[in-house]
Amino acid sequence: MNFTYNIEGGDFTNAGAPSSAVKKMLKQLGVNPDIIKRTVVALYEAEVNVVAHAYKGIITVDIEDDRIIIKLEDEGPGIEDINKAMTEGYSTASQKVREMGFGAGMGFPNMKTNSDKLTVNSTPGKGTSVEIINYF
Amino acid sequence: MKQAETFHHALKFKYDLCIGCSHCIGACPTAAIHVEKGKPILNPNRCIDCGRCYLACPVSAIYIEQDDFQTIYNYKFPILLVPSIFSAQFPEKINHRAIVSAIHHLGFKYIFEVEKSVDILTDVMNKAIIDKNLERPIISTYCPAVVRLIQVKFPSLVKNLFLVKPPLDITALFIKQKFTDEGVKEEDIGIFYVSPCAAKIAAIKSPVGDDVSMVDGVINMNFFYNKVYRTIKQGTYQLVDEECASQRLACDNLLWSLTKGEINLLSQGRNLAIDEIHNVSDFLEKVENEDITDIDYLELRACDESCAGGILCPGNRFFAAERQKKRAESHTLMNTPRNNDLLKYEEYLLKHLSVGEVLPRSMEKLDNNIAVAMRKMKKSFELNNYLPQVDCRICGYQTCKELAHAIVNENADLKQCIFIQRILEQTDKLTPAEALKINKVIWGEKKFDKNSLKGINLGHKGRIQ
């Protein structure tokens, strides 16, 4: 089963709507609540990344009998160094912003702990694609 | 832990009074009702006994079961356990002493207010709030309708439930122990509870996470209010002395059943109180998505204005809450001595405070087999695309989405939708006569008779001639 959702850069009000919809479907399918939670957390984190950094993005959700595959593709600034982005505490946010409690550098690490398989590809200046796979 | 296959429900339909208007279906927060042959059918696995349907029914065709009042006379020691919000139902001019006197007159040997045991819970809650091992947010189990909502609609949050007995059960336990200690035979003690809502009755009849209730009988608050009010008006009762009448409940205890009654007892943490079942449901949706984090304690109540708005409370909920607050204030001003005899049993009660695990009972699941569930979901999405999204309920279901669900579960047919009927009629795939027949199966023959409402009894609203 395939679903797509659009994300608008800067639209924090609606960030979370796709993860909420995905949660509803997984509940109907009777997927284990812990797996639902992991999936929702990973997806939400990824959504917020797109809203915060990119111009726009598209989410494709594919639910199969034994797994869920979520792809987020955005048009945006991209990521210079993916390995660094994956490191806990690494952040591009300025010191001032971090002092305010944002940009703690936990986005990608959080996504990673909450997904069974996480693939990130990026072209600086063009955009980023993130793929999250969780098994039921 | 033994948990029954389905919930016990205190809400029942009086089919002879029902006019088949489906207002109850629209009001339900879990879409637990649909209509067949003009009558509402309750899905016992979805109903959480919140009583929104009871309030929505225009002809009082929904009632809340209660025990026969006469059974109080089967006990040598009939004891009344009454929520403190009960006396707040009466007009100001009727004082607490008169109320207590009238209750004695009706046959109760002793009267205890439920919130007497809040003193014990305060410490327990404050210990929990600093216990880092408890899943956050800690969700209160005080309101049984909320507990059931979580079981059916938010199964992943059952592990957040704070598994302690509510004041009702603790006070009942205290009463049993106190009187047996005083030499009364256990079988002679009859504890009767005056309930402000259906959910608490359902929780007594089939406790969630606990095996048996200490309560021997339940009396509906609106029924009891009338009985007490009449006794007061007739004036044939003996006035009990001042001392006996005024149970010195502390201010905190009196405020417990109102909104913020729990969180105001907590000395630290970030705690929130939310009332009204749809508000609660919307908020839990966010909690489940992890949109909302960093909350320590959630006080959730199914009724607007919490128990002051209980569906069986006869008074206006805003006035009742106001009167209750006034009583609490007066107790603070008087600097009431808290010689609560319940505290003598603190150790015993604390030992019996916890309740068993609460199990999830997801109503969302389409099938036990994930592949089958997937096929059903796919079909349900497809069907939903044909439906008008008007949610008119003429098909007998709460929403177009619910109809789609019922179709994939082979409980309904797409032709039940009147929009689909019109589309099919245009291409001669359905005749108007066939469409009418389908509608009659849903709503009953009578609904299509222009005189169908003649002579119908609209309860308090009189009779249509």
B444 domain-assigned: no
The number of domains in chain A is: 1
From the list A20, A34, A63, which residue is nearest B289 (CB)?
A20
Q: Are A29 and B155 within 8 A, CB to CB?
A: no
Compute CA B288 distance to the chain's CA centroid, rounded to the nearest angstrom: 22
The neighbour count for residue A128, using CB atoms within 10 Å, is 25
Residues B26 and B49 in one domain: yes
Chain B residues near residue A24 by CB distance under 8 angstroms? 364
Residues B36 and B169 in one domain: no
A16 band by pLDDT with thresholds 50, 70 and 90: confident
Q: Which residues contact A113 (CB under 8 A, 6 or more apart)?
A: none
Q: Are A37 and B156 within 8 A, CB to CB?
A: yes
Residues B115 and B216 in one domain: yes
Give the β-pairing of B297-301 and B271-275: parallel
Interface of B with A in 253-312 (CB under 8 A): 285, 288-291
The H or E element spanning position B421 is helix B418-426
pLDDT of residue B266: 95
Q: Are A30 and B368 within 8 A, CB to CB?
A: yes
B245 band by pLDDT with thresholds 50, 70 and 90: low
Test mutation, B46, B151, B282, B289, chain A, max A CBs within 10 A? B289
- B268, A2 in Cβ contact below 8 A? no
B49 domain-assigned: yes
Angle made by CA atoms B321, B323, B325, in degrees to the nearest 5: 70
Identify the CATH number of the domain in which residue B76 sits.
Answer: 3.40.50
Tell me the sheet residues that pair with B298.
Answer: B139, B272
Chain B residues near residue A66 by CB distance under 8 angstroms? 370
Residues B15 and B40 in one domain: yes
Q: Which domain holds residue B20?
A: 11-64
Q: In the predicted model, what is the mean pLDDT of residues B12-30?
A: 93
Chain A residues near residue B368 by CB distance under 8 angstroms? 30
One DSSP character per residue, B83-127 reads: -GGGGGGS-TTS-HHHHHHHHHHTT-SEEEEGGGGHHHHHHHHHH
A54 domain-assigned: yes
B294 domain-assigned: no
Tell me the sheet residues that pair with A128.
Answer: A122
Q: Are A25 and B377 within 8 A, CB to CB?
A: yes
Q: In the predicted model, what is the mean pLDDT of residues B452-458?
A: 69
Residues B57 and B78 in one domain: no
The number of domains in chain B is: 3
Question: Which of B64, B57, B40 lies closest to B204 in space, CA to CA?
Answer: B64
Q: What is the distance between the alpha carbons of residues B142 and B106, in angstroms, rounded to a whole number?
A: 29
B1 domain-assigned: no
A56 domain-assigned: yes
Residue B365 pLDDT more than 50?
yes
Identify the CATH number of the domain in which residue A65 sits.
Answer: 3.30.565.10
Q: In the predicted model, what is the mean pLDDT of residues B365-387?
A: 92
Residues B387 and B422 in one domain: yes
Q: What is the distance between the alpha carbons of residues B53 and B62, in angstroms, rounded to a whole number?
A: 8
Token output for B445: 């023959």
Residues B394 and B315 in one domain: no
Residues B413 and B317 in one domain: no
- B380, B404 in Cβ contact below 8 A? yes
pLDDT of residue B4: 47
Q: In the predicted model, what is the mean pLDDT of residues B14-27?
A: 93
Residue B465 pLDDT more than 90?
no
Token output for B98: 């008169």
Give the pLDDT confidence of B86-125 residue by residue, as tens digits.
Answer: 999 999 899 888 999 999 999 999 999 999 999 899 999 9
A60 domain-assigned: yes
B260 domain-assigned: no
Token output for B61: 């065709």
**Residue with the larger pLDDT of the pair B245 and A127:** A127
How many alpha carbons lie under 13 Å from residue A125 in its C-beta half-sphere? 0
B457 band by pLDDT with thresholds 50, 70 and 90: low
pLDDT of residue B1: 34
Chain A residues near residue B362 by CB distance under 8 angstroms? 27, 30
Specify the pTM.
0.89
Q: What is the distance between the alpha carbons of residues A136 and B139, in angstroms, rounded to a whole number?
A: 27
Q: Which domain holds residue A121?
A: 2-78+110-135
Residues B238 and B116 in one domain: yes
A15-29, B229-243, B393-407, B424-438: segment of lowest average pLDDT: B229-243
A99 domain-assigned: no
pLDDT of residue B2: 39
Identify the CATH number of the domain in which residue B46 sits.
Answer: 3.30.70.20
Residue B412 pLDDT more than 50?
yes
**Residue with the larger pLDDT of the pair B232 and A90:** B232
Q: Which residues contact B404 (CB under 8 A, 6 or more apart)?
A: B380, B381, B383, B384, B387
Give the pLDDT confidence of B34-48 residue by residue, as tens digits.
Answer: 999 999 999 999 999
From the list A20, A44, A136, which residue is nearest B285 (CB)?
A20
pLDDT of residue B389: 96
- B149, B277 in Cβ contact below 8 A? yes
Identify the CATH number of the domain in which residue B407 sits.
Answer: 1.10.15.40
- B401, B417 in Cβ contact below 8 A? no
**Closest residue of A to B361, CA-based?**
A30
A37-51, B79-93, B143-157, B355-369: segment of lowest average pLDDT: B355-369
Q: Which residues contact B413 (CB under 8 A, 6 or more apart)?
A: B407, B438
Residues B320 and B391 in one domain: no
A26 domain-assigned: yes
Q: What is the distance between the alpha carbons of residues B377 and B408, in angstroms, rounded to a whole number?
A: 8
Please give the ipTM for the structure prediction.
0.77
Q: Are A44 and B289 within 8 A, CB to CB?
A: yes
Token output for B455: 């002579």
Question: At B226, which amino acid appears?
Answer: N
pLDDT of residue B450: 81
Q: Which residues contact B454 (CB under 8 A, 6 or more apart)?
A: B464, B465
User: Over the range B213-236, which residues count as b (16 or more CB within 10 Å of their CB) and which as e?
Assistant: bbbbbbbbbbbbbeebbebbeeee
Q: What is the mean pLDDT of chain B?
A: 90
Tell me the backbone φ, ψ of residue A2, rounded to 5 degrees. -115, 140
Q: At what angle do helices B144-153 and B277-288 cross, to 10 degrees?
A: 40
Question: Which of B354, B353, B335 lies closest to B345 in space, CA to CA?
Answer: B353
pLDDT of residue B151: 93
- B202, B49 in Cβ contact below 8 A? yes
Q: Which residues contact B241 (CB under 8 A, 6 or more apart)?
A: none
Q: What is the distance between the alpha carbons of residues B455 and B446, in angstroms, rounded to a whole number?
A: 13
Residues B235 and B125 in one domain: yes
pLDDT of residue A91: 75
Give the pLDDT confidence of A52-111 residue by residue, as tens digits.
Answer: 899 999 999 999 989 999 999 999 999 988 888 888 777 776 676 666 666 666 788 889
- Return the sign of the alpha-carbon dihedral for residues B217, B299, B117, B344: positive
A96 domain-assigned: no
Residues B168 and B46 in one domain: no
Residue B341 pLDDT more than 50?
yes
Q: In the predicted model, what is the mean pLDDT of residues B374-382?
A: 93
Q: Are A16 and B362 within 8 A, CB to CB?
A: no
Token output for B109: 């040997």
Q: In the predicted model, what is the mean pLDDT of residues A19-35?
A: 91
Domain boundary among B351, B380, B414: B351
